[in-house]
Amino acid sequence: MNDFQLALAVFLVSHVVVAIPAVRRGLIARWSERGFLLAYVIMSVGLFAWLIPVAMHAPTTALWPPALWAYWVPVILMPIVAVLLGASVIAPNPLSIAFVPGLPDPQNPGAVALSRHPILWGLALWGLSHVPPNGDTVMLTLFGGLGVFGLLGMLIVERKKRSALGEERWRELAAGTSFLPFVALLSGRARWPRDRRTLLGAAFGAAVAAFLLLGGHVLLFNRDPLALF
């Protein structure tokens, strides 16, 4: 097992283990829910900080050449990812993974109106959007693995939350949102978020996306997402 395989395995396994109900309950009992969520965020960021540079320097094999259309995929999707993550990372969400405990206001659900699983959708779209322009074995494993991890995570979390909340309560909380991003908003079942926290988070996400497109991606990862334009 090389360094990349080790880092990816640790990242995936650690998140699976922490998601086991008995483990999660034990950690919350020891640290409190806020302490657990803080530790979870620190763990996730730390493992990402280890995984990405290891992947960039891992030995790899080319699978397909870069094409102009492939670069358009992350350029179009990553601003959406940034808004999803920015708006939801500090919002309570009883229907999915959340870094903030509590319940959203039923009259103003904020980021939950975007999707039942905005954080996991952000992870899935971030990974899958980077597959087309990165045609080698390491990047396919990294980004494809993270994308599939996010998609499977949504299905697993959906089932667990529905069971834990009970059908009636789950339907009540899910009435103003949707599984797919923005569907409830576009269909009129949910109101577009107007609360300060969601708007500021979305604006911050959009600013991060602009930073990455306008030179930040090259600075951080030595790769220009606009190189073929």
Domain ranges of the chain: 1-59, 63-221
The structure tokens listed for 92 are 């309570």
- How many of the other CB atoms lie within 10 Å of CB of 195? 17
Q: What's the whole-model pTM score?
A: 0.91
- pLDDT (tens digit per residue) in 7-52: 999 998 998 888 887 888 888 888 888 888 888 889 988 998 899 9
Measured CA to CA, the distance from residue 98 to residue 122 in angstroms comes to 13
Computed from CA positions of residues 86, 213, 153, 194, in that sequence, does the dihedral angle turn out positive or negative? positive
pLDDT of residue 76: 95
- pLDDT (tens digit per residue) in 171-223: 988 988 999 999 999 999 888 898 888 999 999 999 999 999 999 999 988 88
Tell the residue number behind the tokens 């390491």, with chain if given.
138
Share of the chain above pLDDT 90, in %: 60
